[in-house]
Amino acid sequence: MTLLRVEDLRVRLPTSSGPVTIVDGVDYQVEQGQVFGVAGESGSGKTISVLALMQLLPQGAQVDGRALYDGRDLLSLGPRALQQMRGRDIAMVFQDPLTSLHPMLSIGKQLTEHVRVHEDASRDVAKRRAIELLEEVRIPDPEQAFHSFPHQFSGGMRQRVAIAIALACRPKVLIADEPTTALDVTVQAGILRLLDRLRRENGLAVILITHDLGVMSSIADHVSIFYAGRIVESGPTRELLTKPRHPYTRALIDALPHPEAEEGSELVAIGGSPPTPRARPDGCAFHPRCAYARESCELSVPSLVPVSDSRLLACPIDPLGPR
Amino acid sequence: MLLGVGITFVAFCLTNIVPGDPAAANLGQRAIEDPAAVAAFRHHYGLDKPLPEQYGIYLWHIVHGDLGQSEQNHDAVTHDLGQFIPATAELALLSIFVAVVVGVGLGVIAAVRRNKLTDHVLRVVSLGGVSMPTFWIALVGLYVFFFRLNWLPGTGRLDPVVSPPPHLTGLFTVDALAAGQWSTFWNAFQHLVLPSLVLAASNIGLLTRYTRSAVLEVISNDYVRSARAKGMPGHTVILRHVLRAALPTVITVIGLAFANVMTGAVLVENIFSWPGIGQYAYRSATTLDLPAIMGVSLFVAVVYITVNFIVDVLYGVIDPRIRLA
């Protein structure tokens, strides 16, 4: 069942020299119980595109397109409906657990305040729920944790708390923006297992944003690759990562260190750097860095078209072809 | 404790460095010409002893709760202080209360409406509050609200025909309420309005500016976005999440506001004939009444130390990270 359908999402942010297009026409849909991966380099518009869904962008941002959830367009919700949607239908976990929790409010307060607002729950009910959640995300001694403050926990534990806070009102969709990037690898694995379990047990849909394809391959069902504010390729994770068709996806995978790679083989860095939103090249934004680029690539922006049952590709050249 | 000794020492040195002769300031024209009278005056107040010995005696007396005798009215300084402190306390507390409520409120509004018309208007108002001299605001306030409009009484703590309420705290409004004398309360309150607002003006400006910048610093933090993302209503986000984090800065400025009120009181009390510490300080200074000056200095120092201590304690209450450190 499709929970969330995003159609032609465009975001322009104000800067000192006029508005700049950050997200430039993005379409995708998220199914119930699915982990929907969004990958791409920093600055490709991944985070901005999901903040737009929650209307959490700074003032002055221009958002166009539609994001249909439960028959309503999230992008045109009024303040009241928006406040009721946030946290209850769609919840969010941010990248840095050190800064995303309030340093002066107790864990208990931060875990219960929105439950009490959304569900009009009593203090006791909210507290019982909070303790359950802390158990669910495997925080040792939940009763004590309830009365503690964020600075008394390690980064991994704080991210678990942040996830517990996000799940407190039993949302249908969880947006996790680089939830493991600030954490150690071992802690990372724990958080990913936790997300995976919640998805299986509660039918939660997860939009997982990461620039780490390793994380992606371990948990995501479906991946969309972002480049310069657009999706350049999308498809089921395993297929997409083993048989990439867009030159950018290929380059991303080649840039990963691989334990089974032949000895002496070098990592291939992608030449050049990603374009800044202010100076995006004409045509396909990747063409200046693309090994397969032709003249035609500079002329028109390639659209994202189906190339098989489950895969979409925005490269008319398709140099890597179906193999 | 150590701070207390230090303060008495500095105050003692300063008051004695001031050029001027207490005898000349306090004795009449004829008495000054009589060396015997001057000697008697000096001997009576211990001014003929060496300075270190004077200081030692002074400290000894303080320890015994004796701040000496005023050279002006020959009352014990402690008696004078006890009489004048409640008047100033009533004025200062109301003034601080108004400044905090209005200043913090306006600061939050200015921050939330950043760069909009409200913000610009508040910027002008707060700048005005900070930069207009207190005595000028006081005179304009008196002229407009007392002389022209006659909305508020001019000077003093009560109308001459109203007798003070039975003494309990020395704060007339509180005492009147405690005694159930509503008309006295109302009269005392009306007398309080103008001087306390005048005294609050610069602190309102100060608090508005600092609160605005503290709130702006906090409002773009990730945890504020987290609060919005979980669907907390806007006003709860501002009050619980943003203002809470801005509070340490605000508390610091409130501490500074107390200092402003103590200095402002000298001007305001003189202009409004308010029988408080400020007026007493002014009178003592102009007549070189050394024990009284020392007493006032000591009182002000105690207020500062107490306020600073409370501010430090509040930091810990507000921020759990400081509590443990």
Sheet of A20-31: strands edge to edge?
A20-31, A2-13, A62-69, A72-73
Residues of B in contact with A100 (CB under 8 A): 222-223, 225-226
> Over 90: is that where the pLDDT of B207 sits?
yes
Residues of A in contact with B229 (CB under 8 A): 54, 56, 86-87, 91-92, 94
Beta-bridged to residue A64, according to DSSP, are A10
Stretches where chain A sits below pLDDT 50 are none
Domain with CATH 3.40.50.300 in chain A: 2-89+171-313
Inside any domain, residue B223 = yes
pLDDT tens digits for range B168-185:
888 888 888 888 888 999
- B45 shares a domain with B111: no
Q: Nearest CA to A318 among A294, A299, A282?
A: A294
Residues of A in contact with B234 (CB under 8 A): 79, 83
Query: pLDDT grade, residue B165 (50/70/90)?
Result: confident
Residues of B in contact with A105 (CB under 8 A): 240-241, 244
Residue type, B68: G
Cα A176 from Cα A47, distance rounded (Å): 10
* Beta carbon pairs, A and B, within 8 Å: 83
The residue written with tokens 């939330």 in the block is B112
Minimal-distance CA residue of chain A relative to B221 = A99
CB spacing of A100 vs B231 below 8 angstroms: no
pLDDT tens digits for range B223-234:
999 999 999 998
CATH of the domain at B92: 1.10.3720.10
Q: Nearest CA to A198 among A223, A177, A222, A168?
A: A168
Q: What distance in Å separates residue A126's CA from the closest CA in chain B? A: 15
Q: What distance in Å separates residue B225's CA from the closest CA in chain A? A: 7
Q: How many CB atoms lie within 10 A of CB A169?
A: 20
Contact B67/B81 with Cβ under 8 angstroms? yes
Assign domain A2-89+171-313 to a CATH class.
alpha beta
Q: What distance in Å separates residue A83's CA from the closest CA in chain B? A: 5
pLDDT tens digits for range B95-137:
999 999 999 999 999 999 888 899 999 999 888 888 888 888 8
Inside any domain, residue B144 = yes
Q: What distance in Å separates residue B214's CA from the closest CA in chain A? A: 15
Inside any domain, residue B70 = no
- B134 shares a domain with B34: no
Task: Quote the pLDDT of residue A259.
Answer: 64
Q: Which two tokens stand for residue A219?
A: 């948990």
Number of residues that make up chain B:
325
- B125 shares a domain with B23: no
Q: Which of B20, B40, B63 is the last residue of a domain?
A: B63
Cα B69 from Cα A213, distance rounded (Å): 83
Chain B residues touching chain A at CB-CB below 8 Å: 221-223, 225-234, 236, 240-241, 244-245, 318-321
Give the one of A87, A104, A118 whose C-beta lies nearest to B319's C-beta: A104
Minimal-distance CA residue of chain A relative to B321 = A151
Q: What distance in Å separates residue A52's CA from the closest CA in chain B? A: 11
- B294 shares a domain with B262: yes
Number of residues that make up chain A:
323
Average pLDDT over chain B, rounded to an integer:
87
Residue ranges in A75-184 assigned as alpha helix (H): 79-85, 97-100, 107-119, 123-136, 142-146, 155-167
Give the one of B222, B231, B244 whose C-beta lies nearest to A83's C-beta: B231
ipTM of the complex: 0.85
Give the one of B223, B229, B318 whose C-beta lies nearest to A54's C-beta: B229
Minimal-distance CA residue of chain B relative to A162 = B226
Percent of all residues in chain B with a pLDDT value above 90, rounded to a whole number? 39
- B203 shares a domain with B162: yes
CB spacing of A102 vs B223 below 8 angstroms: yes
Q: Which two tokens stand for residue B56?
A: 């030692």
Query: How many domains does chain B contain in total?
Result: 2
- B145 shares a domain with B198: yes
Minimal-distance CA residue of chain B relative to A119 = B231
- Supply the range of the domain harboring residue B273: 78-324
Cα B71 from Cα A250, distance rounded (Å): 94
Inside any domain, residue B71 = no
CB spacing of B230 vs A96 below 8 angstroms: no
Q: Which of B40, B63, B86 is the last residue of a domain?
A: B63
pLDDT tens digits for range B294-316:
889 888 888 998 999 999 999 98
Residues of B in contact with A129 (CB under 8 A): none
Using only C-alpha atoms, chain A has a radius of gyration, in whole angstroms, of 21
Q: What distance in Å separates residue B69's CA from the closest CA in chain A? A: 50
Inside any domain, residue B182 = yes
**A252-257 contacts, C-beta under 8 A, 24 or more apart:** A252/A39, A252/A213, A252/A225, A253/A213, A256/A213, A256/A214
- B277 shares a domain with B149: yes
- B138 shares a domain with B28: no
- B213 shares a domain with B82: yes
CB spacing of A104 vs B244 below 8 angstroms: yes
Q: What distance in Å separates residue B220's CA from the closest CA in chain A? A: 9
Give the one of A87, A118, A168 whose C-beta lies nearest to B229's C-beta: A87
- B105 shares a domain with B154: yes
Cα B88 from Cα B275, distance rounded (Å): 8
Chain A residues touching chain B at CB-CB below 8 Å: 54, 56, 79, 83-88, 91-92, 94, 96, 99-106, 113-114, 117-118, 149, 151, 162, 165-166, 168-169
Inside any domain, residue B69 = no
Inside any domain, residue B151 = yes
Q: What distance in Å separates residue B308's CA from the closest CA in chain A? A: 22
- B250 shares a domain with B133: yes
CB spacing of A56 vs B233 below 8 angstroms: no
CB spacing of B231 vs A101 below 8 angstroms: no
Minimal-distance CA residue of chain A relative to B247 = A104
- What average pLDDT score do residues B43-49 get? 80
- B150 shares a domain with B90: yes
